[in-house]
């Protein structure tokens, strides 16, 4: 125990005392928002660029009917071939060609001879936008042809936005906000994903360094290999945890200071709102709105679960990274063993995107149970509300999972660290695993 702590302390201090740790810890919280704003900025500039589009409308229904201001529409005359040639010549974005359409024929509702011609494939989003715009115009024309006037048509339309509610434990229905749940789920899931990658590979590097610097045999003459491995995993993990705490503290301070400078009433602070929420707001009204929304997701449950899954995922994968580091002599050799470790992590992050769209699907439930994927996937599901029994099963499985991987990793580690210049493959690992010490 004491030995493990000494190893932990060394791993922790040598990392935290490094300048690069300080820089990374301070820069990442600044870098991420900057990156996100940068992408949004680029994105907005892109769509802000109004592209010129030629429309060859042989049906005559569409004149001045397009209202989308992302494009400037120029209605052209002539044949299709001429129009295409002109588009190419003038460097225009594309040509929308609408041939004669027989809207009087009520036996068909399909119009599939409309064409879009451009140098590059416009992508599904743009394609969908045109399809929608054209459909709307055609529907209006057809409705008018059936004898309804424009006013009636307008009054016949319906616009719906769905409000979502969750049952609380007291049976009361509370209004929920899917958008916020979506964001919270994604951010927490992504944090776990990021930490596994960054700190997992640090463990591997650390094990490898001890092996290549040949100090490991000196160390294991004082410390059991398992203690050494655990000290390492926990030490590097503590660094990650410290980083996380600093970020939270930084956010709290920055927003508090920001608030005091910007000047909203101090009652707001006293009302116990989460400071992250405040950061998003400019005015008191918005603050209240965010506060209400936050009330709809189980904040305490999410934070506690996040800490649990964060630690669980880290232990589970950290041990595996340590085992890989012990088995090989160089980072290049580690590649072959990295894929099977990274695969479930990558599957988790891909699944997370789908899970936050449909948090109660079969796939979401299963992936939030399997220990290798549960930490990331469960974080995606939690803001939407997860039955308590599912959460408990998932947590118990994760505990079993990391005990299992630590056990397996420990058996490979104790042999691997003393093996130099051995050609290691999966068979070797299996032999080491079954070997008695």
Identify the residue among 104, 156, 261, 437 touching another protein (CB under 8 A): 437
**CA proximity to 37, closest of 45, 27, 25:** 45
Residue 350 near another protein by CB under 8 A: no
Residue with Cβ nearer another protein (256 or 428):
428
Identify the residue among 148, 288, 418, 422 touching another protein (CB under 8 A): 418
**Cα–Cα distance, 235 to 203 (Å, whole number):** 9
Residue with Cβ nearer another protein (255 or 326):
326
**Cα–Cα distance, 389 to 373 (Å, whole number):** 18
Identify the residue among 221, 300, 362, 388 touching another protein (CB under 8 A): 221
Which residues ranging from 115 to 144 are in contact with another protein (CB under 8 A)?
none
Residue 10 near another protein by CB under 8 A: yes
Residue 436 near another protein by CB under 8 A: yes
Identify the residue among 28, 76, 141, 220 touching another protein (CB under 8 A): 220
Q: Are 216 and 322 in contact (CB under 8 A)?
A: no
* Helix runs in 213-265, H state only: 216-220, 225-262
**Cα–Cα distance, 283 to 230 (Å, whole number):** 48
Residue 358 near another protein by CB under 8 A: no
Residue 425 near another protein by CB under 8 A: no
Whole-angstrom Cα Rg for the chain: 30
Residue with Cβ nearer another protein (212 or 242):
212
Identify the residue among 6, 294, 338, 397 touching another protein (CB under 8 A): 6
∠ CA 324-329-333, nearest 5°, is 65
Residue 431 near another protein by CB under 8 A: yes
Using CB under 8 A, which of the segments 38-46, 180-188, 222-230, 321-329 binds another protein?
A: 222-230
Size of the site for another protein (CB under 8 A): 24
Residue 427 near another protein by CB under 8 A: no
The residue to which tokens 């999410």 are assigned: 302
Residue with Cβ nearer another protein (14 or 168):
14
CB count within 10 Å of CB 274 equals 15
Using CB under 8 A, which of the segments 35-43, 120-128, 206-214, 359-367 binds another protein?
A: 206-214
**Three-state secondary-structure class, residue 338:** helix
Using CB under 8 A, which of the segments 127-135, 247-255, 343-351, 428-436 binds another protein?
A: 428-436
Using CB under 8 A, which of the segments 76-84, 156-164, 207-215, 245-253 binds another protein?
A: 207-215
Backbone phi and psi for residue 176, each to the nearest 5 degrees, phi listed first: -120, 170
Using CB under 8 A, which of the segments 49-57, 165-173, 218-226, 388-396 binds another protein?
A: 218-226
Residue 213 near another protein by CB under 8 A: yes
- Token digits for 209? 């360094």
CB count within 10 Å of CB 229 equals 28
CA 281 to chain centre: 23
**Cα–Cα distance, 38 to 46 (Å, whole number):** 12
Residue 218 near another protein by CB under 8 A: yes
**Cα–Cα distance, 434 to 427 (Å, whole number):** 11
The DSSP secondary structure of 104-132, one letter per residue, reads T-TT-------EEEESS--HHHHHHHHHH
**Cα–Cα distance, 378 to 307 (Å, whole number):** 12
Residue 86 near another protein by CB under 8 A: no
Identify the residue among 23, 36, 40, 215 touching another protein (CB under 8 A): 215
Applying CB under 8 A, which residues contact another protein?
Answer: 3, 6-7, 10, 14, 209-210, 213-215, 217-223, 225, 418, 420, 431, 435-437
């Amino acid at each position: 125990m004491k030995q493990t702590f000494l190893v932990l302390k060394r791993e922790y201090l040598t990392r935290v005392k490094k300048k690069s740790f300080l820089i990374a810890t301070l820069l990442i919280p600044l870098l991420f928002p900057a990156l996100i704003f940068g992408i949004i900025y680029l994105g907005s500039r892109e769509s802000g660029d109004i592209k010129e589009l030629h429309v060859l409308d042989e049906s005559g229904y569409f004149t001045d009917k397009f209202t989308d201001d992302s494009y400037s529409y120029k209605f052209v005359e002539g044949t299709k071939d001429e129009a295409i040639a002109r588009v190419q010549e003038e460097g225009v974005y594309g040509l929308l060609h609408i041939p004669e359409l027989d809207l009087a024929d009520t036996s068909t509702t399909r119009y599939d001879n409309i064409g879009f011609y451009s140098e590059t494939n416009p992508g599904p989003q743009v394609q969908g936008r045109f399809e929608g715009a054209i459909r709307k115009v055609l529907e209006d024309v057809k409705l008018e042809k059936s004898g309804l006037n424009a006013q009636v048509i307008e009054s016949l339309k319906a616009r719906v936005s769905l409000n979502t509610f969750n049952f609380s434990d007291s049976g009361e229905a509370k209004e929920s906000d899917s958008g916020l749940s979506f964001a919270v789920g994604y951010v927490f899931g992504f944090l776990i994903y990021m930490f596994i990658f960054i700190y997992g590979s640090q463990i591997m590097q650390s094990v490898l360094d001890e092996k290549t610097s040949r100090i490991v045999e000196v160390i294991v003459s004082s410390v059991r290999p398992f203690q050494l491995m655990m000290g390492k995993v926990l030490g590097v993990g503590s660094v990650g945890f410290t980083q996380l705490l600093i970020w939270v503290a930084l956010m709290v301070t920055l927003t508090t200071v920001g608030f005091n400078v910007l000047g909203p009433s101090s009652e707001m602070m006293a009302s116990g709102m989460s400071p992250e929420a405040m950061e998003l707001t400019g005015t008191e009204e918005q603050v209240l709105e965010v506060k209400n929304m936050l009330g709809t997701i189980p904040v305490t449950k999410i934070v506690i679960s996040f800490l649990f899954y964060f630690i669980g995922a880290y232990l589970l994968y950290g041990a595996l990274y340590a085992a890989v580091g012990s088995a090989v002599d160089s980072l290049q050799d580690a590649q072959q063993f990295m894929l099977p470790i990274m695969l479930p992590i990558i599957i988790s992050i891909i699944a997370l995107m789908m899970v936050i769209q449909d948090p109660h699907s079969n796939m979401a439930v299963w992936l939030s149970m399997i220990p290798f994927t549960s930490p990331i996937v469960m974080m995606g599901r939690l803001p939407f509300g997860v039955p308590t029994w599912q959460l408990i099963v998932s947590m118990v499985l994760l505990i079993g999972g990391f005990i299992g991987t630590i056990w397996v990793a420990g058996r490979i580690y104790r042999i691997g660290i003393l093996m130099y210049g051995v050609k290691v493959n999966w068979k070797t690992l299996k032999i080491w695993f079954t070997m008695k010490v």
